[in-house]
Each structure stands twice: as C-alpha cells, then as structure tokens.
Amino acid sequence: MLSPEKLLRLMIEFIFVMLGVLFAWFGLAGPAHGRTVDRHSVAWLILSVALLLWGLRALYKPGQWWTRWQNWTRGLSLALLGLVMLAITRVPFLWVGPLLAAGGAVLLLRGVIEGILIFRPR
C-alpha cells in the first residue's frame, strides 16, 4: 500500500506524463499548433524565462541528500523545457512542431523517471 504522500507524488508525475504526451501530439500533429499560440508574444517569453529560472533554482536549492536525484530531475526538466520554449521563439516555423514534440518528450521523461524514483527505497 502506498502512503498518501507517495500516492500524491505519483499522481503529479502521471499528470506530467499526460502533459508530455499532449505536447508531443501537438508537435507531431501538423501545422495547427502555429495558429493556437503566438510564439512571439511577451507572455510566451516570460513563461520561457520563468521555467528556465525555476529549473535553475531547483538545481541550486539545497535539499535532503536522499532527494538529490529527484531535485536534479525536476530542475533539469524545467530548465530544458524553458530552453526549448525559448528556442521556439527564434526558429523557423517548420521547426516549431519538432521542438514542441521535444518539449513533450522532456515532460514525459521527467514523469517516468520521477515515477521510478518514487518507488526507490531510501
């Protein structure tokens, strides 16, 4: 039986897996993603920088030694997602889909790795 804390963390990581699949699906579906979000807007840039800084803060933040791998996974995934979103603002339109799929893959991997780390004994 899972403790309530582990069950909550597992559900959160499941949400990240589903979000990653959704982003990958949008990225691979075709040119419809270009009409839904303005990648040159200030809001996209602010969100990209915020994710990047949030990820770097998670990497720098000291924590308990047994949660080190979880902190690294969370921080690295957020920083990579922020970098991918920043790259989306500057690349040609044809590269937006593959970069969205790459961002989805980052979120998907984060969810899977964190799910595995939840069940690891301390």
Q: What is the pLDDT of residues 28-53, one digit of tens each?
A: 887 655 566 678 889 999 999 999 99
Angle among Cα 80, 81, 86 to the nearest 5 degrees reads 95
User: Residue 114 pLDDT more than 80?
Assistant: yes
Instruction: Give the start-to-end residue ranges of the domains of the chain.
Output: 4-118
For 59-114, the DSSP string reads HHS---GGGHHHHHHHHHHHHHHHHHHHHHHHS-GGGHHHHHHHHHHHHHHHHHHH
SS3 121: coil
Tell me how far apart the terminal alpha carbons of the chain are, to the nearest angstrom: 17
On average, the pLDDT of the chain sits at 87
